[in-house]
Chains A and B, each alone.
Chain A
């Protein structure tokens, strides 16, 4: 008898664990980030942020289930299958990376599960077709960022640009979006070079760029590998402006770059320079709030724009969930559909990266208030006014 009771208890606990533990009525959100692997520096900050996310939306308790896809596409797909099938999540937030987010699209539309991706590429939500009906995202797309750069170039008399980028999808994506925009604004790309993340020297490419005598150089790379071309430019005595992408907006870039990256111009989400934003900027208040909470976390260090994307996803959910709750209870297919519809209808959600207004044709919903130009001055980020 005694033994049987023990077995029963064990079974009960086991099944509770298998079914994802939370009682069914709570809202369940699956978060997939890349906290290890090559993109770890992106995902680690998001992993950390989960602790400070709201514990309830519209009076409904939220269970955040955090999974790490190790920067691997196959793992992301596996995790999504588990979250949808076993944990019965109402929505997936993430993954952190573009390829991983794209890989989930089929699963989402088949199972009717909405996703708020944290990855950069516009391809995740554009165009909003049958496959992308369930996909939304919070980070500014590369196209929007490229626009900010080209505008700044055009208004500062840059007529010719030397371009150097990663020899991968990130670099090619930028080469394309910059090429088209630059042409429209009468800016000529006079040299276009590639380098590897792992390269130990880019002297050849830089000599070529300087040889073409451009008004400015644009480096399309992310993280600390983006330092190398700039260090080599400095070594060769290049004094004209250098532009980078928002892929470098973390403190490791400043640490590794040191004095070689002084004066670098880049577009970034407003949260990077929250304190310096003019008081009228809609992102200022939410960005300061996020920065306060995030920087108080142990070992978090300075704010991360990547972490802010997750924070904004939570703000969008906060605005969308109460509406969806009017139609159905969490944990049901009806609720997931209601949540999707309600996210598509969110209007003027003021967040750290700008103001989100979704529509049936725009599943990102950011406008030009979502980015600012920033300059690196004496080792910190300075807002360019």
Chain B
């Protein structure tokens, strides 16, 4: 291996790693706030890429139907809850976020007008982001107090529902979205594609935004409080349902951005999200599903390991990446650093 090959591999590893970082950070965030291992995180990525590709080809994106149907179910659940508690509080907000917003976005998407590129991206992000809280309301909120194991099983079920609907609505074939930035520049006498630079920069920026959000805003602090102690947060007036929905909206938004970032560099299928999410998960495990910087570094390491193992032993690449989890789990369980989630 000479220096230029080494450089290309590092570049490739950083680009894929940057996407894994986003997913790993989402997994950590969702897990700490809600104790859900968000298996369907990858679906946000694939649905965003598939929806954007649908817009580019002037098709009506199937995501609109998922939004409308799931939003309808979520609102029906709210209505039932309101009827049982004999109160109308919160119904207006629910009607907005589960009915009006999805309906407006779906109408815009299904109208089939030729949209400028920026509008396509915005609409895609808005649709996927809206889907996040709806999914939380339908699948997790009724069982939010259950143990992490039950939540994990619900997450797996949701994953299969989403992948199945994805196959039905988007079809079995893959898509590649149009390149956002063509061309390349030279860094340290080595050509670097703008697309790669953009992915890394976007990942970095998003992580900074998240850092600022959790560090300096009231909402971010409220989420952190929920993550540290749910009961305590509830006592000081932070609704865990609200925290859960906000977290899911954030996770969905970051997933959507990841999808838009990697759409032009790889082919995305209705089921591509899972393997991406799984690699992000390996990264998150390195951080014990609790620490952001460790999860981010872990995900970056997964990307680099993947790049180098695909060069040295391509047939065993996946084996190498997923075997990484074994020594890490061993080390973590010996170092007593795991999150003890059964005793709150």
Contacts and interface: CB of A to CB of B under 8 A. Distances in A.
Chain B interface secondary structure, helix, strand, loop or mixed? helix
A200 B307 contact: no
B310 A167 contact: no
A205 B310 CA distance: 6
Contacts of A292: none
A203 B310 CA distance: 8
A361 interface: no
Nearest to B15: A201
A75 interface: no
Given A41-B172, A167-B315, A203 B307 contact: yes
A206 to B, nearest CB: 9
B344 interface: no
A223 B173 contact: yes
Interface centre among B15, B19, B310, B318 (most CB of A within 10 A): B310
Interface in A199-214: 199-205, 207-208, 211
Contacts of B275: 198
Given A195-B310, A204-B310, A256-B175, A228 B267 contact: yes
B197 to A, nearest CB: 14
A228 B314 contact: no
Interface stretch (B4-12, B98-106, B111-119): B4-12
A19 interface: no
Contact of A201 (B167, B173, B310): B310
A204 B317 CA distance: 10
A203 B12 contact: yes
A341 interface: no
B80 interface: no
Interface string B252-270: 0000000000100111010
B31 interface: no
Contacts, number: 89
B317 A200 contact: no
A235 interface: yes
Nearest to A164: B314
B5 A36 contact: no
Given A194-B315, A207-B8, A225-B267, A200 B310 contact: no
Could you tell me the dominant secondary structure of chain A's interface residues? helix
A258 B176 contact: yes
B296 interface: no
Interface residues of A, number: 30
A167 to B, nearest CB: 6
A207 B9 contact: yes
B266 A40 contact: no
Contact of B267 (A38, A204, A227, A235): A227
Contacts of B265: 200-201
A11 B74 CA distance: 44
Contact of B311 (A196, A200, A204, A235): A204
A246 to B, nearest CB: 17
Given A198-B272, A225-B174, A204 B167 contact: no
B309 interface: yes
Given A194-B314, A225-B267, A201 B16 contact: yes
B319 to A, nearest CB: 10
A200 B276 contact: yes
Nearest to A252: B173
A122 B312 CA distance: 32
Contact of A202 (B15, B272, B310): B310
Contacts of B175: 256
A193 interface: yes
Nearest to B178: A258
Contact of B173 (A41, A195, A208): A41
A228 B266 CA distance: 7
A359 interface: no
Interface string B307-344: 11111101101100000000000000000000000000
Contacts of A225: 174, 267
Given A167-B315, A196-B318, A223-B173, A203 B267 contact: no
30 contacts: A40-B171, A40-B172, A41-B172, A167-B314, A167-B315, A193-B315, A195-B314, A195-B317, A198-B269, A200-B19, A201-B12, A201-B265, A201-B306, A202-B310, A203-B11, A203-B12, A203-B307, A203-B310, A204-B9, A204-B12, A204-B310, A207-B5, A207-B311, A208-B311, A208-B314, A224-B173, A227-B176, A256-B176, A256-B267, A258-B176
Interface of B: 5, 8-9, 11-12, 15-16, 19, 167, 171-176, 193, 262, 265-267, 269, 271-272, 275-276, 306-312, 314-315, 317-318
Given A203-B11, A204-B9, A223-B174, 4 more contacts: A195-B314, A202-B310, A204-B317, A235-B193
